[in-house]
Structure 1
Amino acid sequence: MQNTLQATRQNNRIQSLDFLRGLAVLGILLINIESFCYPNPWSSYEYGYQSTLDHDVRFLVYFLAQGKFFGMFSLLFGVGFYIFLDRLEAKGIGLKALDIYARRLLILFLLGVIHAYFIWDGDILYHYSICGFLLFPFRAFTVRKLLFILLVPVSVLSYNSISNILSRQDQHQKYVEASSAKNPTEEQKKIVEKWISRTSRKEGHIGDIENHRQTYWQSVKANAEHTKVHKGEVMYSGILFRTLIMMILGIILYKSGVFRDYHSVKYYWLITAAVTAFAVYVNYIRYYHWTYQYFDPVLSVWKEWLFTFPKETMALAYILVFNGLYQKFSIFKRLIPISLAGRMALTNYITQSIICGLIFYGYGFSLYGQLARHELLYIVPCIWMLQLIWSYFWFKKFEYGPLEWCWRRLTYSGGGVG
């Protein structure tokens, strides 16, 4: 049994997937670093806006990165899920494959919880592990059936968007009626004040930002207040459907064969061009509005619907574009450090959190809230370079990244297996 249940060796890896994982783990830092520096990183006007340059940088970063690399990770997790089970099934070990798969996800869950409580409360790993269990019934479905299944979460999110816009239109109508009333009631006055407050330009935060993470244990306490696994919140309900959409898309793409040979899909580049063009258009108007017109509520049903899946469409476009380029042009295959960073994506993801904690929190250099948005872009490439160099030299001596080795070791050795 020990020889049968060995982890995947290098010569069995799909090289394009390592390259895509490398891009995803590096790219996700562009967004995650803001969560280490600001109390409200998503704000369009608070924290880190010292000049017009910061607003422009924020627009470009969100246009190109916000949610896109998370989407890539989710899609690639779906691919990895399918490959893992497919290879276990090929070894003919029957129900033992379910034990190994469940143990793999349990270990990922525990790693994520440790990361969330002791390093950074923005962890996504334990959320992925729960989604991994939800994915299991879809493994044996055909591509056509998966496409139909995909309509369920897409429809749910579309319905939520329509519900939101109808509610917003109703609020606007009440505001119009209240503002035109000759003798407005107290309730109407509140409606007018609330709408004006919502649609007014806001001033950014001025002055020092209180850092509640002056010591390491203060940081752990702050993490525990946000991470509520101990209260039974074991996944992020707000992004559950989005995560599943991307994971199912990953299974569909893998089943279509595009990661081994993009020629397996007819009109691959035409489809890629269409998806990319649509993604660029939608993301441009979405994040332009979010950055420069945040005070102007969306009242158009069509526009609200377009704003429903910007991140997912761009993530899919990135996957298709870079997968095709990697296979078509040898220059991309020579970007070995990126692929190596992808081979140890789990390790690099965790070390990004450790490095950012040391840079921004009080137990390190205490730069929390001290940098403008554009200044974060000076730090990101430095961390990228460190991780690329480290990944390159690590694989000179070892076959797996350190956390990847632990994950595999625990996966295959539990319960007397391996």
Structure 2
Amino acid sequence: MATTSPDRILVLDIIRGIAVMGIFSVNVVGMAMIEQAYFYPPGYGFGSLGDRIMWAANFILVDGKFRSLFSILFGASTILVIERGIAAGKDPWRVHYPRMAVLLLFGLAHFYFLWWGDILANYALVGMIAFIFWRLPVKWLLVAAAIALSAGYLPNMVMGGQQIAQYQAKAAPGASDEQRAALQELLAGLKPSEEALANDKAAHASIPAHFDSIMEAQPLRPFMSVFGYGIETLGLMLIGMAGYKSGFLTGSWKRRRYIEIAVPFIGASLIYFGIGAREVLRADFSPFIFFPWNQIYSGPLHPVAAIGYAALIILIFPKRGAIADRLAAVGRTAFTNYLGATIIGTILFFGFGLGLYGQLSRGQAWLFAPGVWLIMLLWSKPWLDRYRYGPFEWAWRSLSRWQWEPMLRTKTPGPPA
């Protein structure tokens, strides 16, 4: 999420732009309906062929993968911003920590006032930890990333597998009546009650209603996320740091090496998630099939897919061009586009706007995604032709430096950030 400067690295901006667009493809579902349906599709707003097609497409191509890519880019941008700060004679920590503190404020505002799915607060908090590693060479960054990701994925796989086995035992022919009753109660809880739906819709009537609901139900969620998926976020950021330092994410490698990464990494992801989608659809989203494929064993494939996507994007956009420039502009204003997408979602779904919350199916909600992508592509470049930063990038920069940053472009480019 770095801002515009004369020495931008084009390919980093392009990857970031594609990542922020991809993220909205899944986020829009979480904005449009109750949170339970985001994590278990049959919970609400699901049933038609279109819903299944859109779930499968996102499951195979997008879900978890573009968030991982975005997190990797955040790590790369962290190094980039620190290096530019050092070049300007600033201490690294004086550059980094004010940025993370301001980002945390934006993330908390995003979470408490607009949407439960904020990731900025997690990035800010984990980013404060990631700073410890930024001086490490590529080899040790990758080792640290592997340790962090293993610490995040392996316990989830072991405990999740054990939990599924326990549930299956309760469904076995020899299970007791008590076990069966407990299982039925658990399965019933996967779908929200009428009361829960009513309360959830009421919480989206207005921004104050959303704030009150959040404060009552999960006021510390942004901070607790560090203990949840924060270790995964750290691992992904470290991969990004290594990817930047090694030249992988800056497009410095030979094309053959990118092909050697893109083909097997993306291929492995498509095979795994393609088989998973088939099995889940065949089982009609049985929890015993859905959750292992979707939430227990899929985690390690997300960074694999993300790295493959990064390599593929670098191969597709080796130099500037009309499409590359548009995508790069989206990446340069990724902070604004990320928050702006939520603002659009708020207008679409909250009661003070169009009031569509809980009124659409999964597939119908997704149909807004291409329109939001188009808005990102249309506004970002013309804006940056006139202004140095996106609106929220400018605010982030000004607040973290505690000075009013110039916004309008000048004919003579200023010094690097």
Indicate the TM-score class for this superposition, using the shorter chain for normalisation. 0.7 to 0.9
In terms of Rg, which structure is larger?
1
- Aligned match of 1:100: 95
Judged with a 3 Å threshold, the aligned counterparts in structure 2 of structure 1 residues 301 and 335 are, in CA distance, closer, same or farther, namely closer
- Aligned match of 2:407: none
Judged with a 3 Å threshold, the aligned counterparts in structure 2 of structure 1 residues 290 and 151 are, in CA distance, closer, same or farther, namely same
Q: How many residues align?
A: 396
Q: Which moved more, 1:298-307 or 1:97-106?
A: 298-307
1:389 maps to 2:378: yes
CA–CA separation in structure 2 for the residues paired with 1:343 and 1:20:
10
CA–CA separation in structure 1 for the residues paired with 2:123 and 2:55:
27
Contact 1:162/1:304, CA 8 A, preserved across alignment: no
1:122-179 deviation line (CA, Å, top 9, x unaligned): 2111110011111012111122212221232233221331233234335545654734
Letter in structure 1 aligned against 2:178: K
Q: Which moved more, 1:22-31 or 1:83-92?
A: 83-92
Contact 1:107/1:410, CA 8 A, preserved across alignment: yes
- Aligned match of 1:366: 355
- Aligned match of 2:410: none
Judged with a 3 Å threshold, the aligned counterparts in structure 2 of structure 1 residues 381 and 208 are, in CA distance, closer, same or farther, namely farther
Letter in structure 1 aligned against 2:179: I
1:247 maps to 2:247: no
Contact 1:286/1:307, CA 8 A, preserved across alignment: no
CA–CA separation in structure 1 for the residues paired with 2:335 and 2:125:
17
- Aligned match of 2:81: 84
Match of 2:43 among 43, 46, 54: 46
Alignment of 1:161-176 (within 5 A): 161-170=157-166, 172-173=168-169, 176=172
Letter in structure 2 aligned against 1:368: Y
CA–CA separation in structure 2 for the residues paired with 1:12 and 1:234:
37
1:20-54 deviation line (CA, Å, top 9, x unaligned): 11111111111111112111222221222242221
Match of 2:336 among 324, 328, 347: 347
Letter in structure 1 aligned against 2:377: L
- Aligned match of 2:131: 136
Contact 1:358/1:365, CA 8 A, preserved across alignment: yes
What is the Cα-based RMSD across aligned positions, in Å?
Answer: 3.3
CA–CA separation in structure 1 for the residues paired with 2:107 and 2:51:
32
Judged with a 3 Å threshold, the aligned counterparts in structure 2 of structure 1 residues 236 and 118 are, in CA distance, closer, same or farther, namely same
Contact 1:71/1:312, CA 8 A, preserved across alignment: yes
Identity over aligned pairs, percent = 25
- Aligned match of 2:270: 280
Judged with a 3 Å threshold, the aligned counterparts in structure 2 of structure 1 residues 107 and 114 are, in CA distance, closer, same or farther, namely same
SS at match of 1:233: helix
- Aligned match of 2:156: 160
Judged with a 3 Å threshold, the aligned counterparts in structure 2 of structure 1 residues 203 and 132 are, in CA distance, closer, same or farther, namely closer
Deviation at residue 101 of structure 1 after TM alignment = 1.2
Contact 1:198/1:295, CA 8 A, preserved across alignment: no
Contact 2:336/2:393, CA 8 A, preserved across alignment: yes
Alignment of 1:31-70 (within 5 A): 31-39=26-34, 40=36, 41-70=38-67
Deviation at residue 304 of structure 1 after TM alignment = 9.0
- Aligned match of 2:210: 219
Letter in structure 1 aligned against 2:144: I
CA–CA separation in structure 2 for the residues paired with 1:375 and 1:176:
37
Q: Which moved more, 1:132-141 or 1:311-320?
A: 311-320
- Aligned match of 2:286: 295
TM-score (structure 2 length as normaliser): 0.84
TM-score (structure 1 length as normaliser): 0.84
